[in-house]
Amino acid sequence: MHTLAVQLSRVVDLSSLDDLARLHLDLQSTADDYTPCQLVGGAIAYLNFEGVMVPSLRRAGAVNLVIYTTNLGADSHILLSESRDL
């Protein structure tokens, strides 16, 4: 397992269900079809954001950070801070 130290400047926070609802995204309805989520993620990447925070579909209450590495700014970084065997 790896732990990363991440510094980003431009991140969209869609980590709450209310945020997703405003975009007409429902985790229950997107469970079988990821197309709506992919469209939103593609738009965020197109607008040159470095990442997006979204709720995890696998673990209730957890948040995932999706990083668009091709959009990283000069002052942003992703560093490996720890590695360990599971």
The domain tally of the chain equals 1
pLDDT of residue 30: 61
Residue 84 forms part of a structural domain: no
Residue 85 in any domain: the answer is: no
The pLDDT assigned to 24 comes to 83
Two tokens at 28?
Answer: 């229950």
* Residue 82 falls inside a structural domain: no
The helix (run of H) or strand (run of E) holding residue 12 is strand 11-13
Provide the pLDDT for residue 35. 86
pLDDT at 25: 84
Is residue 48 one of the residues assigned to a domain? yes
Domain holding 53, by residue range, is 2-76
The string of DSSP letters for 26-57 reads -TTTTSS--HHHHHHHHHHHHTT-SEEEEE-S
What is the distance in angstroms between the CA of the first residue and the CA of the last residue of the chain? 6
Q: Is residue 86 part of a domain?
A: no
The pLDDT of residue 20: 86
Residue 37 lies in a domain: yes
For the chain of 86 residues, list the mean pLDDT of each consecutive stretch of 10.
95 91 76 82 96 87 93 95 93
Say what the pLDDT of residue 81 is. 95
